[in-house]
Amino acid sequence: MRLMSLTPELVALCHREEADPGPDPSWTDMNDEDFRDLALRLSNEADEGPLWVFAYGSLIWKPEFESVEQQLATAFGWHRSFCLDMVRWRGSAEQPGLMMALERGGRCNGVIYRLPEGEKPAQVERLLRREISDHESIETVRWLPVHT
């Protein structure tokens, strides 16, 4: 059996610099009030008790928040997919890059993090600011039931 390994040298063969064209001018940036309003709405929709966050991609290895507990979890009805075309950072309009997101169907294993007790809307807002920046992305934010 042959083992494969991803080395810095192999990654360097794939790297290409792309100038950032900036945000899509047809999209509407969220302002501080928009983030606060969305965070408050999502906080009100959340279950009572501590705030748990499901991570299935970069939040696993780079959560950028403090957690007090973590568990393996599965989201049924969703699967990981490189389905987001990226025309900034990882690609261009001529050659889009791909980013992972969840698509309907299947199952997705991940990690749930329990955040410290505190101001739930502020915790949700911090996560929103990490993950989205425009009104057009709001529809992708949702609470998911998971199984531990």
How many angstroms from the chain centroid is the CA of residue 62? 11
Catalytic-residue membership of 18 = no
* Tokens 């890059």 found at: 97
Backbone angles phi, psi at 15, to 5 degrees: -75, 135
> Cα(85)–Cα(58) distance, rounded to whole angstroms?
17
> Cα(128)–Cα(142) distance, rounded to whole angstroms?
11
**Which one of 45, 48, 131, 136 is the catalytic residue?**
131
What positions carry a catalytic annotation? 131
